[in-house]
Structure 1
């Protein structure tokens, strides 16, 4: 059966307070480092990956060198353009990083660590946990932790699955024992604790709303749309008056936002965000640590769930 649905959450009584320095919004920029870990015939997979720059598909019996090269752009050029931008603006981000992608791009991995970005585990490969057995998924989680620790010199303390977790994921993360949070939900603007058998797992929700994948899907006409879309959201969240601290996630992909025109839009939005005194631009790990300290989990054990 898996976890129960919660359609209420905080309801009319959200937690009251602010982020450090009295900030109203915690803004977390997420860089999805996946290039090199996606499905590829070159890696022995039965098919290649989609989500390239053009809405077309190659017959699955053939290797799609065009889409492969789009992913290579993210690894060869896009990630480094983004890292230069973050360094220039003094912005620390969270990398949702597939372990294999880091293994294959050690320069990018080193830069992430040296600049103080958080490396959050995004699986060993950019794979679909819901197709795995419980044992296979546990092994994949362990492999991701081992690999990222070896590549980056520090273990990941956060987890984000590809699009959605399996019904076992949250339990497995708690059993592994080293994760302070997961981001496997899109259901709130505020962190919360999810019941998992005899414990509470901190969830720092992610969002697909403020995400550069809309360039690919055709929902954004151009970079200016991205600036307007994200800026409106940030300003609105900061000016809401219910007394609750808000979280905003902006999702990026080096193969998409690493392109120059899109990077310029990202720079414009981040310059606006960092100019606001009521916005805390930070990593997901810092958000998790702050939440655990100032908004601890409920007292007692949750009711056992299936």
Structure 2
């Protein structure tokens, strides 16, 4: 923000003085000012570009007649049984396939887990953690969180955390609200419950720090641009289109990362990203990224830790 103010201030001076002697004025400013170049930043661990992968573990926690690829015309009083099988695919095939893929690629991811999905599929939840991935909280179920009173929301979040802890032994320190729609009390509750970060923010391409209850709290930005539920299900992208968009995102961020701290996020959902074609696309995408020097793959809890301990992290 200060560099932007300096830019406005200095361009104002140029505008006034430059009319009198424009050539000399610009020559003098170029010697003394670097306002045209943003300050150089880098990752504290030496990475050039950090890639953050999300694996949403939601299947089994959805309500009856949840949104699916099937027409939303089920008659009132009936359960959409075929749609339920679409969700079942997520824990029967999707996550196991993705886990094998992450192992082959040597990357660790963050799995945002719905509490009821964990309780219905405890062995799979444990396997995710046992394979070295992060278990992050994603609410107890798919209830609308932002309408809840403070204590009700606090219980809703804590119940999801407890489900993960009791099943996997992992204490979640990161949070993702359903469709990112947190409420006015959510961050205060997260700080109170001991969380370190949340991801319900798409305003930057690098982590940053905010103040919650007068304490530092990390934001590890999420993505809608490289997100299978948005592109594949929402916009009917082909797998090739998804892969091309993600590659283009990577190429631009990698170029920027020569002088600026950059993070790329990619999101996969159990019943979408776990299909054979999408796992193949993910494999191709990550192998492409791994060909570039300085690219590292980190869990979101690791990114949050780096951000919280780096004095150069952006503060808002």
The question of a shared fold, defined as TM-score above 0.5 by the shorter chain, is answered with yes
1:126 equivalent among 131, 139, 142 = 142
Q: 1:143 to 1:14 in 2, by over 3 A?
A: farther
The Cα offsets for residues 163-215 of structure 1, whole Å up to 9 and x where unpaired, read as 11011100111111x21111121111111122324223211111111001111
Q: What's 1:64 paired with?
A: 80
For the pair 1:137 / 2:161, whether they are aligned, the reply is: no
Instruction: Indicate the RMSD between aligned Cα atoms, in angstroms.
Output: 2.3
Is 1:28–1:93's contact at 8 Å kept on the other side of the alignment?
Answer: yes
Shift of 1:55: 4.7
Q: TM-score, normalised by structure 1?
A: 0.86
Residue 95 of structure 1: which of 111, 124, 129 is its match? 111
Change (3 A) 1:195 1:212: same
Unaligned runs of 5+ in 1: 1-7, 41-47
Alignment of 1:11-50 (within 5 A): 16-19=40-43, 22-40=46-64, 48-50=65-67
TM-score scaled by length of structure 2: 0.83
Relative contact order, higher structure (CA 8 A, sep 6+): 1
Is the Cα contact below 8 Å between 1:200 and 1:297 reproduced in 2? no
What is the distance in 2 between the residues matched to 1:74 and 1:233? 27
Following TM superposition, the consecutive aligned residue runs of length 4 or more in structure 1 with deviations greater than 3 angstroms are 8-16, 54-57, 295-299
Of Structure 1 and Structure 2, the greater helix share is in 2
Separation in structure 2 between the aligned mates of residue 16 and residue 103 of structure 1, nearest angstrom = 46
1:216 aligns with 2:240: no
Count of aligned residue pairs for this structure pair: 283
Larger radius of gyration: 2
How many Å separate the matches in 1 of 2:153 and 2:43? 35
Establish whether residue 258 from structure 1 lines up as the match of residue 282 from structure 2: no
What SS does the corresponding residue of 1:188 show, helix, strand or coil?
coil
Give the aligned partner of residue 282 of structure 1. Answer: 298
Query: How many angstroms apart in 1 are the aligned matches of 2:40 and 2:235?
Result: 38
Distance 1:56 1:205, change over 3 A: same
Secondary structure at the counterpart of residue 265 of structure 1: helix
Match of 1:3 in 2: none
Once the two structures are TM-superposed, the CA of residue 57 in structure 1 deviates from its matched residue by 3.5
Residue matched to 1:5: none
Q: 1:137 to 1:261 in 2, by over 3 A?
A: same
Unaligned runs of 5+ in 2: 8-36
